[in-house]
Amino acid sequence: DIYVLRLHHRLERDKRVTTHVALVARAFGAKGIFIHGEDMNLLKTIEKVKANWGGKYFSIEFVKNPKKVVREWRSSGGIVVHLTMYGIPIDNIIEKIIEKNTKILVIVGSEKVEGWYYYNSDYNIAIGNQPHSEVAALAIFLDRIYKGGELNIQFSDAKLSIIPQERGKKVRKNE
Ligand code: SAM
């Protein structure tokens, strides 16, 4: 199972970006997200998406102490991956991570990430060595882990599902 840890969520500046991190996490196969900070509007938005489009198991937990999440994750046998432009290219390491076949905590930052996370993660991984975005970095990491399979995820508890169309929109209401 994969969970995401979103560091240092600042209400005003990060509200849309953190919401997008959570939406990408859910849509592309993570089981939940830990958010450093608190934001009831974000919670409402994601709960509404879950209610309509499914994935009720997807957990959202606001945390005050993200280092504790990292420590507990590692001591329970999971691996911690920190996504950073300064890290090792993902292609050099992805197979090793997949082979470990254990639960993964993926850390994404917002502004500057404290040095502690670089030293207390099992892997510091770069999705290319250029600065871009936590949303893009997370999406590509999940895509590499699931080898594209995440695009076919079905949520069995979805109230709404899309029937793909060449043009226009078709949505089915599931009973
Ligand atoms: N300048 C910040 C720093 O030095 O840590 C990073 C800011 S960036 C907008 C926010 C987050 O996006 C980073 O903490 C990282 O998780 C992710 N990110 C951005 N570019 C990345 C890359 N090339 N590879 C992996 N993650 C990246």
Q: How far apart are CA 148 and CA 82, in angstroms?
A: 21
Spacing, Cα 165 to ligand 1 middle (Å): 35
Write the CB contacts of 92 (distance below 8 Å, at least 6 apart in sequence).
none
Mutate which of 17, 134, 145 to test ligand 1's pocket (most atoms within 8 Å of Cβ)?
Answer: 134
Say how many Å lie between the CA of residue 85 and the centre of ligand 1.
6
Residue 60 above 70 pLDDT?
Answer: yes
The protein residue whose alpha carbon is closest to atom 12 in ligand 1 is 134
Centroid of ligand 1 to alpha carbon of 126 (angstroms):
9
Over residues 25-30, the mean pLDDT reads: 98
Q: How far apart are CA 80 and CA 77, in angstroms?
A: 10
| Residue among 136, 155, 115, 174 nearest 31 (CA) | 155
Q: What's the rounded Cα separation, in Å, for the pair 27 and 155?
A: 9
| Rounded average pLDDT over 37-64 | 96
For 88-103, what is the mean pLDDT? 96
Question: From the CA of 163, how far away is ligand 1's center (Å)?
Answer: 35
Residues 114, 149 contacting (CB under 8 angstroms): no
Write out residues with Cβ below 6 Å of ligand 1: 83-85, 108-110, 112-113, 126-128, 130-134, 137
| Atom number in ligand 1 closest to CA 141 | 25
The model's pLDDT over 111-145, given as tens digits with 9 standing for 90+, comes to: 889 999 999 999 999 999 999 999 999 999 999 99
Q: What is the pLDDT of residue 14?
A: 83
Distance 14 CA to ligand 1 centre (A): 14
Whole-number pLDDT of residue 11 = 67
